[in-house]
Amino acid sequence: MRELLELLRIVFIFGILGALGWGIAGNIYKINEEAETYSWLGAIAILLLLFVLYRNKLQFSGWYQGKGKVKLPKSVSRTLILSSIVLLISPFVLGFLLN
């Protein structure tokens, strides 16, 4: 039962925080019409950031008490965060270069 509650918690966290993040990023991408075409890259970036947030902070405050609750290694966290930053910026770059 705890696993199901934790799974629902993950869905709500990703849904609410993802919608909030996309609301902000989506409005920024709408400023530039060329960037709006590639805004799906920003959505991937938001999901990556939420994954890092969950694995490094939020998983320790949930209902699940089983094994395997470890933080991501720092190198993996940094790589994912850097990738997210690149993905957040890339719609503007691609919109400028390809249009």
Can you give the C-alpha Rg of the chain in angstroms?
16
> How many domains are there within the chain?
1
pLDDT of residue 82 exceeding 90: yes
Q: What is the reported pTM? A: 0.90
Compute the mean pLDDT over every residue in the chain, rounded to the nearest whole number: 91
Q: Mention every residue, 6+ apart, whose C-beta is less than 8 A from residue 22.
A: 42, 43, 46
Q: Domain range for residue 76?
A: 2-98
State the pLDDT at residue 90. Answer: 95
Segment 3-33, tens digit of pLDDT: 898 899 999 999 999 999 999 999 999 998 8
CB atoms within 10 A of CB 21: 19
